[in-house]
Structure 1
Amino acid sequence: MPLRRLARDLLLGLLTALFLIPFLIMLRNSLVDAHQITAPHRYWLPWPLTLENYRELFTNPSVPMGRSLLNSFLIATVTAPVSTLLASMAGYALARLRVPGRNLVTGFIVATLMIPGSVTFVPTFVVVGALGGVNTLWGLIVPGLFNAFAVLLFRNFYLRFPVELEEAGRLDGLGHLGVYRRIVLPASGTMIASLGALSFIDSWNAFLWPLVIGQDPSAWTAQIALSTFLTAQTVNLPGLFAGAIVTVLPLVVMFLVAQRHIVQGIAMSGIK
C-alpha cells in the first residue's frame, strides 16, 4: 500500500512538473533580453536577470497596459457577481415557481447553448453599437451578464435543495423572494463561489468581443493590449512574455483561491 501511494505521488509530481514547464519557460523569457530568448543555446536559469521588460511594458506609450489591466479588472469584477446573481435568480425561478410554460422556457435556454456564438455576434454588435456602447465599459460588460449554462447549473442545484427549509420560511410569512433572499441564497455559497470564479476567468480571458467593441486604446482590455506585441510585421518577444506573466497572475491567484469551490460547485450542480 505505501509503495502504491509512493508511485501515485511520483506520477502526480511528474504530471505537475510537465504542466508547469510552459509557465517556467514563460517566466524565464520575461526576465531576459530578446537576444537570449532567440539564442541557439538555451539555459533554464536566466542570467543575467533583468526587469527591463516589465518596465518597458508599463512605459510603452503605444500600449496602455496599465489602463488595459484596470479595464479587465473592472469588467471581470462586475460581470462575475452580477451574472452569477442573475443566473441564480433565474435558476431558482425555473426550479420552484409553478407557472405555465416553465419547462418550455427551460427548453429554450437549453436550445441557446446549441447556437454558435458566431451566429449571435453580429446582431449583438449591431444592438450595442446602436445604443452607443462602442468604446464604453458597459458595452463590454452587459452582453456577458447573461449565462444560460450557469442558469441550468443553478436550476439543477435548486431542484435538489431541501423543500422543507423553504416551507419553514413560508410558515414564518416569507414569500418567494423572502425565501430566496434569506434561506436559499445564503445556502448557495459554494455554487455562487464556483460559478463566480469561472465567470471571472471567462471575462478576463475574453478576446473577440473586447476586440470589436474596444476600438479605442482607452477601452482595450489586457488581452487586446497583449495581442499588440504579436503582429504580422513585428514580434516583440520580451514584451509578449512579460505581458503574459502580468495577465496570467490574477487568474492563477483566482484559481488557487477558488479551486475547491469550483470542484464542489460542479459536483453539487448534478451535472457530471
Structure 2
Amino acid sequence: MTTTAPAPHGPRRARRRGGTGPAGLYLATGVAALLFLVPFYLILRNALMTDAEITGEDWKWFPADVRWGNVTEPFADPSVDFARALGNSAVVGVLHTAGTLLVCSLAGYGLARIPYRHAQKVFYAVLVTLMVPTAVTFVPSFVLVSSLGWVDTYRGLIVPGLFSGFTCFLFRQYFLGFPKELEEAARVDGLGHWGAYWRVVVPNSLNFFAAMATITFISGWNSFLWPLVIGQDPSSWTVQVALSSYMTNQTVNFHLIFMATAMSVLPLVFVFLFLQRWLVQGIAQTGIKG
C-alpha cells in the first residue's frame, strides 16, 4: 500500500511564491518616501545656513547655528517685493484653477453627454491640441495678449491658460462613467443640460473636481515662462519670477534663494496634504488604466 505525502500547506506555499510580503513592501515604501523627502530636507537645511556653510568643503547635515533670521530676509530685500509676488501667485493660482475647472468641465460634459453630429470630430480636435508643442503657440499667444493690452495684468496671466486639452479629456472620461440615471431624474424634474450639470453632476462629483483643482493649482503656481514674459513690471511678478531674480551675473545669495524657495513650496505642500486623498481617488475615476 502506497501513501502519498500531504500537499504543502496552501498559505505557506502562497507565501513562498509571493515574495517578501508586507515587510518588503514597507521597506520599498520607506525608501521611496526618504528619496522623495531629500529635496525638501536640502531646501530647509540650506535655508537656515549661511552662504559659507552651504558652499563649504565640509558637508554638514544640519547647520551649526540655525539662522532663524533668514526667514525675514526675502521680505526685507528692497530689490524684490516677495510678499507681493506671493500674493500675485495666490491670485493667479486660485483664479486660474477656478476658470480652468469651469471651462474644461463644461467642455468635457458637452462632449460626453450632449449628442450632436460633430462631437467626435471636436473631441479629436481637442486631442490634437495635446500634440502641439507649447513653443509653437507661445509667440502668437503673446502677440494676441499684447494687442489686447493685457501685459502686466492678471487677465494676461490667467485667461490664455484657462483651457487645457488634457483636463478636458479627463473630465470627458469621468463624465462618461457618471450615472445617467441621476441626469434622467433631473430632466424629469424639468432641468435642461445646464441645470443637470450644475445642480446634479457637480455636487456629486466634488471628489473629482478637488483632484483636478489640486493638479491645476500646482501647475499654475509653478508656471514660470509665461508669467516671465507677461509680467514685465516687478509689481506683476509671480513667485517663480521673483525667485529667478535672486540669481544674477554678479551675485548669488544662496541662503536667500533657498529660504524663498521654501516659502514658495509651503502653499503647495498644504494644498497637496489637504487634497491628496481626493487626488488619488479622482484620477482613479477617470477610467484611465495602466
Matched, 1:56 2:73: yes
Whole-Å Cα distance in 1 between the matches of residues 117 and 141 of structure 2? 29
Aligned partner of 2:105 in structure 1 is: 88
- What are the superposed Cα offsets for residues 190-244 of structure 1, whole Å, 9 maximum, x if unpaired? 2111111111000000000000000110000000000111233321101111011
- What are the superposed Cα offsets for residues 234-268 of structure 1, whole Å, 9 maximum, x if unpaired? 21101111011000111111111111111111111
Matched, 1:243 2:260: yes
The equivalent position to 1:127 in structure 2, one of 144, 150, 160, is: 144
Deviates more, 1:198-207 or 1:139-148: 139-148
Whole-Å Cα distance in 2 between the matches of residues 6 and 102 of structure 1? 50
Matched, 1:69 2:91: no
Whole-Å Cα distance in 2 between the matches of residues 234 and 63 of structure 1? 15
Aligned partner of 1:228 in structure 2 is: 245
Whole-Å Cα distance in 2 between the matches of residues 43 and 242 of structure 1? 17
Aligned partner of 2:124 in structure 1 is: 107
Whole-Å Cα distance in 2 between the matches of residues 158 and 63 of structure 1? 45
Structure 1 letter corresponding to 2:94: T
The equivalent position to 2:153 in structure 1, one of 120, 124, 136, is: 136
Structure 2 letter corresponding to 1:22: P
CA shift for structure 1 position 166: 1.1
The equivalent position to 1:42 in structure 2, one of 48, 59, 64, is: 59
CA shift for structure 1 position 18: 2.1
Deviates more, 1:131-140 or 1:7-16: 7-16
- Structure 2 counterparts to residues 108-257 of structure 1, below 5 A: 108-257=125-274
Whole-Å Cα distance in 2 between the matches of residues 49 and 117 of structure 1? 43
Structure 2: 5+ residue stretches without partners: 1-14
- What are the superposed Cα offsets for residues 28-52 of structure 1, whole Å, 9 maximum, x if unpaired? 1101111111111122121211123
Q: TM-score normalised to the size of structure 2?
A: 0.90
Matched, 1:78 2:95: yes
Deviates more, 1:29-38 or 1:6-15: 6-15
- Structure 2 counterparts to residues 252-263 of structure 1, below 5 A: 252-263=269-280
Structure 2 letter corresponding to 1:196: A
Q: TM-score normalised to the size of structure 1?
A: 0.96
Root mean square deviation of aligned Cα:
1.4
